[in-house]
Amino acid sequence: MNILSIYIGYIMDLIIGDPYSFPHPVRYIGKLIKVTENKIRKVAKTDKDLKKGGFVLWFVTVGITYLVTYLIVKLSSFIPGGFIIVNSLLIYTTLATKCLKDEAVKIYKVLKIGDIEKSRIQLSYIVGRDTQHLDEGEIIRATIETVAENTVDGIIAPMFYAFIGGAPLAMAYKAINTLDSTVGYKNEKYKDLGFASAKIDDIANYIPARISVLLMMVGSLILGYDYKNSSKIAIRDRKNHKSPNCAYPEGAVAGALGVQLGGTNIYFGQSVYKPTIGDKIRDIEIDDIVKTNKIMYATSITSMVIFTVLFMTL
């Protein structure tokens, strides 16, 4: 029943994506984070208290998200066919295949007509770095890095947790990921309050990021890209990122395409140096955005197949 729900949710994501008008659960998770953060800041006046409050913020957000999802799924099981419908719908909201592709394609189309200014604006919607001074190559690189990294956050990881614990665990992962993207920064405002969220997100993505190397390698093989170099670069450059997880999918994509990712970026007005990932076998091109989208789709299909086999055999 849960596997069927995952397949239905996956197909819904491929077809529908994330319509802007859809009341996505992440919006409500975001509101919960903001309300809880405000309450914590009213009582936490020192750095130490803020760090403790960060753990409270994490437990409240993830705990409520899991509990509410669990109760909704449980109650739906009392209605004929209710479990399949509700579990599928909730799992669908945790996946982001079409959404990632659509956002990358928007940037691709604007770059194709040479509108750098608009492409910077489009990119700013999906990345945390400052985009106002990026040139074409940097915009392409940022788009590829974001799609590669979010193939783990938006597809492999939620799918992985959905197979283990259905919609409640997949949604709990989504809460963990949302916390990281909301408060998990190392700037002055969130270095203490966001400490727990950032570290636990690293833990939650530890396994999905590492298995992404295999999944992306298979996806690259299917597409006829350099699958051997994909795994080679992912393993060789796995530590070339401030995150313990991001270099795995970025390295896999860089290796498959024969391009170099990473380097210095601007976040909140501050330069953040990042080691490079991959070898510059050739210059990065606009069409590499489309190729990265193809790797993402091939990887998502590979994930479904491999996770299903493992679930059925274990």
Per-residue pLDDT 10s for the chain (314 aa) are: 789 999 999 999 999 998 877 788 999 999 999 999 999 999 998 999 999 999 999 999 999 999 999 999 999 999 999 999 999 999 999 999 999 999 999 999 999 999 999 999 999 999 877 888 888 999 999 999 999 999 999 999 999 999 999 999 999 999 999 999 999 988 889 999 999 999 999 999 999 999 999 999 999 999 999 999 999 999 999 999 889 999 999 999 999 999 999 877 666 566 667 789 999 999 999 999 999 999 999 999 999 999 999 999 97
Using only C-alpha atoms, the chain has a radius of gyration, in whole angstroms, of 19
* pLDDT of 314: 79
- In 3D, which of 184, 203, 216 has the Cα closest to residue 297? 216
Measured between alpha carbons, how far apart are the two ends of the chain, in Å?
A: 16
- Quick one: how many helices (H) and strands (E) in the chain? 13, 4
For residue range 86-142, list pLDDT tens digits in order.
999 999 999 999 999 999 999 999 999 999 999 999 999 998 778 888 889 999 999
Q: Using CA of residue 28, residue 31, residue 33, residue 35, what is the dihedral sign?
A: negative
pTM of the model: 0.94
Identify the domain containing residue 37 by its residue range: 2-313
How far, in Å, CA of 72 to CA of 154, rounded?
22
Bridge partner list, 276: 262
**Number of domains the chain is built from:** 1
- In 3D, which of 289, 214, 282 has the Cα closest to residue 248? 214
How far, in Å, CA of 260 to CA of 141, rounded?
8
- In 3D, which of 97, 84, 214 has the Cα closest to residue 154? 97
Instruction: Give the Cα-Cα-Cα angle 62, 152, 219 (nearest 5 degrees).
Output: 155
Burial of 188 (0-12, 13-18, 19+ CB in 10 A): exposed
